[in-house]
Chain A
Amino acid sequence: MALKHVNAVIVGAGAGGGVVAKELSAAGLSVVMLERGIWHSAADCRKDDLRNQRTAALGNAFGPDDERNPRVLVDEKGEKIVLPSDGGYSNNAACVGGGTFSYGAMAWRYLEKDFRMRSTYGAVEGSTLEDWPIAYADLEPYYEKAEWEMGVSGDDANNVFKAPRRKPLPMPPLPPNREYQILQPAARRLGLHPFDIPMLRNTVPYNGRRSCMRCRWCVGFACELNARTGTHNTVIPTALASGRCELRTECMTKEILLDDRGRARGVAYFDADDRLQEQPADLVIVCGGAIESARLLLNSKHRLFPNGPGNRYDWVGRNLQSHSYVAAIGLFGQDTYDDLGPGASIAVCDYSHGNPGLAGGAMLANEFIRLPYQFMNSVPNWVSRWGLEHKEFVRSAFRKTISIMGPVQEMPVFDARVQVDPKVKDYWGIPVARLSGKRHPHTVEIARFIAGKAEAWLKEAGAEQVWHRVPGLSLSGGQHQAGTCRMGDDPKTSVVDRNCRLHDVDNVYVIDASVHVTNGGFNPALTILANAYRASDGLVKAWKASKVRS
């Protein structure tokens, strides 16, 4: 039985969906937001170092659950079923707020060149590297809106590489932690331009929420003070307060329903009691994240769209990308650990672009505060993996290391992709995402170069030994997943137009990182938020124009 008709149904209450819900309901549209996860509270922090969104040894704290949500991963060894707590699943949280509920909250604006990768570097063989159809300048007002409306702290005054901004950040950075104090003078000596990382984190009371207390349980955990900012404690409550937005949790969307003319008429979903429901709507807005959004389109087959809406030219699910994270670790003769969260504090953009012979680069920043079990990944490979030597290394080095991380911008690969599996279905009987493909070799080349720069920074800072980790060619996804519904002007080589509307269907939008043509050398959250503000703005204008006409 169909439910009451609304103007817009939004699938997914994460970074993109939350902003869209607020903007549309503020403009007077009636909105239903469907979220497959639940609404966790600040009290769900739990500080469980084996069960959180970053270390899923005992499962993901904020979803999706292992029991109902398999995927299929195809690699050179063949294909296998993977669960959300397995590596290779490319998980992102499934809850109100999505990834922004438990992320580290770095709030980066991409650089101007990040939107013009093809123009800057030319064609890269084997890559679908392309420019965005929009420029940084198109997004700038919306970056600012996200920064001020949601609240970003930090200080990028010393970042000479940043794109022009009209307003500074609304909140100051946290006081420097010990790693910052060690790394900052070293960066200066190297001629680099270190600055305070912008974060969606209150450092002073802002928007009725408190400031960060600098605890150990930051990235991967709920913020027990609600000082870290996500859509769950900003735009979504605002949307609900409008009286025009209804949020339904534990609702798993099955497909977009299309009418005889190929226009969307709503979505079908399984509610919290697993009953199949139909939500009619004038607009369908897909905000499920790069893997689940592509999966939903591919699962919405129709007589007019045998391969799913938006997929006439086989671009849906293509170009799955994320970041190739480089980690360089330095062992110091002094204590570097001061037990101050969030830990990540200082960054440089000196290696984001302009690296000789390389098509891009990465921002470098020190890592978030470490927990003991996480430290296992930081032990260098010359230390025995077990026995007294390993234990002794952990004991002596835990408080004396600094890690520098770099999210290397990836060269998009057409065959790195999301499909729907022909056989495997999830708990609700919906075909699951099937992930396949590899990273581009040039991405790994860039990563090696970046690792060397990160090591050099650590050495200058006084590290006695340095080592690094660089990812291989395996498929890249995870929390920074992007690219599967590319935005572009040409319907033959993209899925949505510059307004994030499907080329194929004029009342279906995709508003999340799926539309990113390339994914910058930064954490993508602020760009997802800014683009959601921008796309909502266009959507509302188009909506009002259509109402004037009719």
Chain B
Amino acid sequence: MGLAAVATGSVVSCRRGASAGLWRSFTDEEARTVEAICEQLIPADRDPGARDAGVVNYIDIQLAKRLRRHRPAYRTGLAAVDAASRAKFGKAFVETTPEQQVEVLTGLEETDKEFFELILTHTRQGYYGDPRHGGNRNMTSWKMLGLAFPPVRGRQHYEPQAG
């Protein structure tokens, strides 16, 4: 039974790969939009931002798994972001400048609070959460915070006591 399940899984993923691009949940266009939004929510500075941390991978993977129930919200939410961007700047969100993107998102925070909160929460999870779920590539945020990874199993910490 285990073997059958594995075989079925691989067939499914092959089909998806052929027909719908590289993403599990998003169209290529949606993925680019998500990536651009996430990068504004957690931008790169001296440490990598959401784009380099692969946050879009996290969201794409989880929308196909445990966060599946949020897929419709992304579909409509992303369309609304693009619509707002076109209304304001005459261009799709990904084609606008970073400053314009911040402006669109600032507006979204007011007009579509529910979707904004959703993608902000997922962006934080993908950036600060465990890499096993598809984000936080190379443990980038953990390195940023100075957390030792991988921690040594069974480690006891000894520090010289003052005095």
CA separation between A57 and B45, bound complex, in Å?
Answer: 27
**Docked-complex contact B41 and A387, CB < 8 angstroms:** yes
Give the most central of B40, B66, B102: most A CB within 10 Å: B66
**Chain B residues touching A, majority SS:** loop
B80 CB within 8 Å of chain A: no
Q: Are A49 and B145 in contact (CB under 8 A)?
A: no
Please indicate the chain A residues that have their CB under 8 angstroms from the CB of B157 in the complex: 214, 338-340
A492 at the interface (CB under 8 A from B): no
User: Which among B47, B62, B102, B142 is the interface contact of A58 at CB below 8 angstroms?
Assistant: B62
Contact of B151 among A215, A338, A373 (CB under 8 A): A215
B:26-43 near A, CB below 8 Å: 40-43
Asked if B82 is at the interface (CB within 8 A of a chain A CB), the reply is no
What count of chain B residues pass the 8 Å CB interface test? 35
A387 to B128 Cα, complex, angstroms:
14
**Nearest-CB distance from A47 to chain B (Å)?**
8
> Is B57 among interface residues, defined by CB-CB distance under 8 A?
no
Q: A50-B133, A58-B67, A372-B147 are known contacts. Are A395 and B47 too (CB-CB below 8 A)?
A: yes
Contact check: which of A51, A213, A376, A388 meets B128 at CB < 8 Å? Answer: A376
Main secondary structure of the interface of A (DSSP, over half): loop
The yes or no answer to B144 lying at the interface (CB within 8 A) is yes
On whether the beta carbons of B43 and A388 are closer than 8 Å, the reply is yes
What's the nearest-Cβ distance from chain B to residue A210, in Å? 10
Chain A residues lying within 8 Å of B121, measured Cβ to Cβ, are 57
Q: Is B52 an interface residue (CB 8 A)?
A: no
The answer for the CA separation of A399 and B146 in the assembled complex, in Å, is: 8
Answer yes or no: A48 CB below 8 A from chain B CBs: yes
- Cross-interface CB contact of A392 among B45, B148, B154, cutoff 8 Å: B45
Interface contact A391-B45, CB-CB below 8 Å: yes
Interface size, chain A (Cβ < 8 Å): 32
Do B125 and A59 have beta carbons less than 8 Å apart? no
Residue of B nearest to A396 (CB): B145
Cα A338 to Cα B147 in complex, Å, equals 10
A82 interface hit (Cβ, 8 Å): no
Give CA–CA (A386, B121) in the complex, Å: 10
In the assembled complex, which residues on chain B have CB atoms less than 8 Å from the CB atom of A387? 40-41, 43, 102
Task: Return chain A residues, CB-CB under 8 Å to B125.
Answer: 50, 57-58, 373
B124:A376 contact, CB within 8 angstroms: yes
- Tell me the nearest residue of chain A to B124, going by C-beta: A376
B residues near A372, Cβ cutoff 8 Å: 128-129, 141-142, 145, 147
For the complex formed, measure the closest distance between the CB of A59 and the CB atoms of chain B, giving whole angstroms: 6
Would you call B159 an interface residue if the criterion is a C-beta within 8 Å of the partner chain's C-beta atoms?
yes
Q: Does A394 contact B (CB under 8 A)?
A: yes
CA distance A59 to B105 in the complex (A): 28
Chain B nearest CB from A89 CB (Å) reads 14
Contacts of B146 in A (CB 8 A): 398-399
Closest partner residue, chain A, to B58 (CB atom): A50
Which chain A residues lie closer than 8 Å to B156 at the CB level? 213-214
A216 at the interface (CB under 8 A from B): yes
Report the minimal beta-carbon distance from A459 to chain B, rounded to whole angstroms.
Answer: 23
Interface centre among B102, B124, B142, B156 (most CB of A within 10 A): B124
Task: Give A47 to B124 CA distance when docked, in angstroms.
Answer: 18
> Is B132 part of the contact surface with A, judged by Cβ < 8 Å?
yes
Q: A48-B130, A49-B129, A398-B145 are in contact. List 20 more A-B contacts (CB 8 A).
A: A47-B130, A48-B132, A49-B130, A50-B125, A57-B121, A58-B62, A66-B66, A213-B154, A214-B156, A215-B151, A216-B151, A338-B157, A339-B157, A372-B147, A386-B40, A386-B42, A388-B45, A391-B42, A391-B49, A399-B145
List residues of A whose CB falls within 8 A of some B CB.
47-51, 57-59, 66, 213-216, 225, 338-340, 372-373, 375-376, 385-388, 390-392, 394-395, 398-399
Instruction: Name B residues whose Cβ lies closer than 8 Å to a Cβ of A.
Output: 40-43, 45, 47, 49, 62, 65-67, 102, 105, 120-121, 124-125, 128-130, 132-133, 141-142, 144-148, 151, 154-157, 159
Top-7 shortest CB links A-B: A372-B128, A386-B41, A373-B128, A50-B129, A58-B66, A398-B145, A373-B129
> What are 12 A-to-B residue pairs whose CB atoms are below 8 Å?
A57-B121, A215-B151, A215-B155, A339-B147, A339-B157, A387-B40, A387-B41, A394-B128, A395-B144, A395-B145, A398-B145, A399-B145
